[in-house]
Each structure stands twice: as structure tokens, then as C-alpha cells.
């Protein structure tokens, strides 16, 4: 198969889908790898590094013309739509639900879209989301240190323990991968940290990972309200179901928070757990609603490409190799976990969540692949 990895063009996106070591794996398995000129520079890989690993360096037009599978990081942006063609495999974070125009064009051009974020493992976890969640949780907390600063639009609190001064309080909702990552940074700087979760097993697990001064609370209305009143920072790390229309923190509840406090919406779900969240970019990361500073960047790991590129490649490469070695049809038929990520297939939408949310027809991956 011919695999093509373009340079990412999303705002401040410095990650790249494949590291030179990954190129070697494809070449060893008899595939051709095309890398767009300078696709890896943001992550510390030169064109020469890729050439040494066996890749060809080409321009964007040639890459999209020749590649059978586009292996990238972020969703396809409008500037890239012209390159889509029938049967082209798009293996990336697609977020079909959030980006309707992209979903339209992926369907119209009869592509085979496989979304990283929807691939599951045997326990129902999301293995290609997990590595980025840890970096987003930790990175989001680091961004919090910056946006609490007066010079950056915050209330001027230093989110670290300083003797003789009240210690800042941070509430994290969601004790999953991102939440634990955020807590590790917050607590190690000496902040008072509370984590809320509805899953008691997750809270118990957190007890063994985090120091004993972290408060682990069951997530209910009363506990949430108490935390909102006393916290300087609220970090949202919940994976909010896409079909839910209600919110955990409504606009009204924001009034309980101290003026000038900060919401770090790592989950970054518009219309999700935090009613007032809308996605922002690294260029323009914060806005103020009801006197509360909101930070809602939807690609936090992009700020840490030298870490996140490796972490992402480690997770995606085994699936990309399966698709290349077996061909997309056999790989999808033989691997029911990979199949969970199938978003569109020759003009048919195959992701139920997007079908339901966008009120458009969808079929199951099994139906379009003729799996009895």
C-alpha cells in the first residue's frame, strides 16, 4: 500500500502522524511511505530522518494524488477537501460529529474514514484517545498556570503553594486518564485538589495513584456546588456522551464561582458538560463568560509535539500496519475493535453517534461490510 503523511495545517498543530521508526516498519512490510516536505519539523524530525528510514519526501499535491491511505493527526480541513477521492482511506482523528462539513465531503467523495477516537479495545476503552488524554490533562493544567496569571487575562493567582498565603483550590471533574494527569501536576505544585467522579472504582484507583491529601468525592449536585463555590480553577475531564442535551455545569451554576476564576475545559465538548464551553485555538485560547475565564483549546497536545507525536505514533502504528498489510476491507472485517472506528464507507455514514446527533441516515459497519 502507498501510505501518505501530510504536514498538519490546523492552527498551531506541530504533531505528525508517523515518526521515522514507524516508516521503517511500513517499509519492512513492503509498503511505500510518502511524507510531505517538512511534515515532521515541528516534532523534531527532518526530511533527511524520514529519507534515511526509507520514505520519499514529496509535495502535498503529489502525496494526495499517490497515497492510498492518508495517515494523519487531525481532521481534514477545507483546504484539503479537494484531494479526497473514492476509496481513499483516511486514518486520523475525524470527529465527524463536531465537523459536519468534513463529514459531508467524506461521504460525498466515497472515502473510507476510520477515526482514531472511536476505535475501542476489548474492555470498551479508547486506546487511541488515551495517550492524548494524559497529555491533554497534564498540558491543560500547565496552561492553567499560565492563564491564571494577570498578564494573560486571569485573576492573578499563582497556582502553587506559597508560604504565608492561602493555597489555591482546584476541582477536577472526571478521574479518568485526563483527570488523573491534571491532578498529578496540580497536586505536585502544592494546590488543594478535589476530584469528582460518578465511578467509585475510578476514585478508588485514584486513591492509589495520588497523594493522600487529594480529596476524592462522589460526583453529585451537592458536592459539585460546594466545589464550584470554593475553587479557583475547575478542570473538566469528563467524556460527556454525545447524545446528552443537558449540562453538568450550566450557565446558572457559573454564578456560584468566584469572579475571575478559571475553567479549563480539557474535554472541550461544545454543548457538553460545561454549557458555556466553545472550542478555542492556541492562537486565541481564552474568553470570558459570566465573569469566568474559559480555556477550551481542542488540540492541547499540539503544544507538546516532541512528547505527543511519539505517544500518538506508539498507539496508532499497530492499527495503521494492519490496514496496510491486510487492506482496509479485510482489516475491518477481521478486527471488530478497529471496525468501531469506521465512520464512513463509500458514501454511507457508519457511526451511529454522528447519525443520531446530526439526524442523518446511518448503517452499521457490519451491514456495509456484509458481515453476517
Q: How far is the CB of 334 from ligand NAD (least distance, A)?
A: 26
Closer to ligand NAD by Cβ: residue 311 or 335: 311
Q: How far is the CB of 336 from ligand NAD (least distance, A)?
A: 20
Closer to ligand NAD by Cβ: residue 73 or 368: 73
CA 51, CA 248: separation in Å to the nearest integer? 50
> How many angstroms from the chain centroid is the CA of residue 175?
17
Sign of CA dihedral 69, 335, 110, 108: negative
Closer to ligand NAD by Cβ: residue 33 or 92: 92
Closer to ligand NAD by Cβ: residue 76 or 132: 132
Q: Which of 118, 197, 232, 269 is catalytic?
A: 269
Annotated catalytic, 61?
Answer: no
Chain residue at closest Cβ approach to ligand NAD: 176
In this structure, how many other beta carbons lie within 10 angstroms of the beta carbon of residue 322?
Answer: 17
Strands (E), the chain: 2-5, 32-36, 56-58, 69-71, 89-92, 112-115, 169-173, 192-197, 215-218, 233-236, 262-265, 286-289, 292-295, 342-345, 348-349
Q: How far is the CB of 63 from ligand NAD (least distance, A)?
A: 26
Q: Which of 31, 95, 247, 294 is catalytic?
A: 95
Considering only CA atoms, which of 229, 172, 158 is closest in space to residue 202? 172
Annotated catalytic, 95?
Answer: yes
Identify the bridge partners of residue 233 per DSSP, sorted by sequence position: 170, 262
Q: How far is the CB of 222 from ligand NAD (least distance, A)?
A: 13
Contacts to ligand NAD by CB under 6 A: 129-130, 132-133, 136, 173-179, 196-199, 202, 219, 237-239, 248, 266-269, 298-301
Q: All 3 cell numbers of residue 235?
A: 478542570
The residues annotated as belonging to the active site are: 95, 269
Amino acid at each position: 500500500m502507498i501510505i501518505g503523511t501530510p504536514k498538519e495545517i490546523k492552527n498551531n498543530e506541530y504533531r505528525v502522524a508517523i515518526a521515522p521508526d514507524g516508516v521503517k516498519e511500513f517499509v519492512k512490510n513492503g509498503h511505500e511511505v510518502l511524507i510531505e516536505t517538512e511534515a515532521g519539523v515541528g516534532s523534531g524530525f527532518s526530511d533527511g530522518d524520514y529519507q534515511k528510514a526509507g520514505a520519499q519526501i514529496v509535495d502535498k499535491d503529489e502525496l494526495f494524488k499517490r497515497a492510498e491511505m492518508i495517515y494523519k493527526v487531525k481532521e481534514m480541513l477545507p483546504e484539503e477537501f479537494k484531494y479526497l477521492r473514492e476509496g481513499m482511506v483516511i486514518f486520523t482523528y475525524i470527529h465527524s460529529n463536531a465537523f459536519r462539513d468534513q463529514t459531508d465531503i467524506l461521504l460525498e467523495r466515497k472515502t473510507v474514514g476510520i477515526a482514531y477516537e472511536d476505535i475501542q479495545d476489548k474492555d470498551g476503552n479508547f486506546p487511541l484517545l488515551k495517550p492524548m488524554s494524559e497529555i491533554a490533562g497534564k498540558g491543560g493544567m500547565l496552561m492553567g498556570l499560565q492563564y491564571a496569571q494577570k498578564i494573560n487575562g486571569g485573576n492573578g493567582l499563582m497556582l502553587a503553594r506559597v508560604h504565608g498565603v492561602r493555597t489555591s483550590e482546584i476541582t477536577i471533574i472526571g478521574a479518568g486518564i485526563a483527570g488523573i494527569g491534571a491532578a498529578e501536576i496540580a497536586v505536585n505544585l502544592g494546590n488543594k485538589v478535589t476530584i469528582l467522579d460518578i465511578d467509585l472504582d475510578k476514585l478508588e484507583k485514584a486513591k492509589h495513584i495520588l497523594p493522600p491529601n487529594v480529596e476524592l468525592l462522589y460526583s453529585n449536585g451537592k458536592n459539585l456546588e460546594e466545589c464550584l463555590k470554593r475553587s479557583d480553577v475547575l478542570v473538566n475531564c469528563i467524556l460527556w456522551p454525545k447524545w446528552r442535551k443537558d449540562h453538568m455545569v450550566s450557565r446558572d451554576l457559573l454564578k456560584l464561582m468566584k469572579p475571575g476564576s478559571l475553567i479549563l475545559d480539557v474535554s472541550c465538548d461544545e454543548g457538553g458538560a460545561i454549557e458555556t464551553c466553545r472550542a478555542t485555538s492556541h492562537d486565541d485560547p481564552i474568553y470570558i463568560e459570566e465573569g469566568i475565564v474559559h480555556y477550551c483549546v481542542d488540540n492541547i497536545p499540539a503544544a507538546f509535539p516532541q512528547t505527543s507525536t511519539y505517544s500518538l505514533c506508539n498507539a496508532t502504528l499497530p492499527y495503521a500496519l494492519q490496514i496496510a498489510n491486510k487492506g482496509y476491507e479485510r482489516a475491518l472485517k477481521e478486527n471488530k475493535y478497529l471496525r468501531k472506528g469506521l465512520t464512513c464507507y463509500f458514501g454511507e455514514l457508519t457511526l451511529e453517534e454522528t447519525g443520531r446527533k446530526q439526524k442523518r441516515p446511518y448503517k452499521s459497519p457490519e451491514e456495509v461490510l456484509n458481515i453476517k
